[in-house]
Structure 1
């Protein structure tokens, strides 16, 4: 193996909670080589690097779905729309009168 792909020295396991489940993935040799190189560059094992990367990406994806930032003018307009919704139309009124499927 090239010097650049040398794995970090084995670490002494700390007394942390052991992982309970496995994640299995398949990759091309080229992709694995790329990930191995990146892991070595930051001093992590392949598993640590992949888990950290996937975890951070998962957090980013979920935040993108739940967090949005507005400038003050748009923020005020947004709050105004929440505080002053338009009157319910006939379709919304009809929908609200229907019994849900689980209550039929």
Structure 2
């Protein structure tokens, strides 16, 4: 069974294409492979930057303290949750 592919079309200035082609040639891959690898790498970096993070010991201790702290009471939220629903 053949794997389906999806096309991504883009327009770039010839000078940009020439730089991409030069880099692709250095890696001995075609332009499409080069662009796909570069875009995939950048996508992984963006996703990781939004999902993975590290703390130094002091920051981690403050983070744990915040997690362990008793949550603040939000009077407006308490009122909202105790209010009768309009459909009741």
TM-score range, shorter chain: 0.7 to 0.9
C-alpha RMSD over aligned residues: 2.1
Question: 1:73 aligned to 2:73?
Answer: no
Q: Which has the higher helix share?
A: 2
Correspondence for 1:40 among 18, 21, 25:
25
Correspondence for 1:57 among 42, 45, 54:
42
| TM-fit CA distance, 1:39 | 0.7
The total of aligned residue pairs comes to 82
- Corresponding residue of 2:75: 90
Cα gap change, 1:47 to 1:86, in 2 (>3 Å): same
**What SS does the corresponding residue of 1:93 show, helix, strand or coil?**
helix
TM, length-normalised to structure 1: 0.68
Runs of 4 or more, structure 1, over 4 Å off, are none
| TM-fit CA distance, 1:43 | 1.6
Structure 2 spans left out of the alignment, 5+ residues: 84-88
**What SS does the corresponding residue of 2:42 show, helix, strand or coil?**
helix
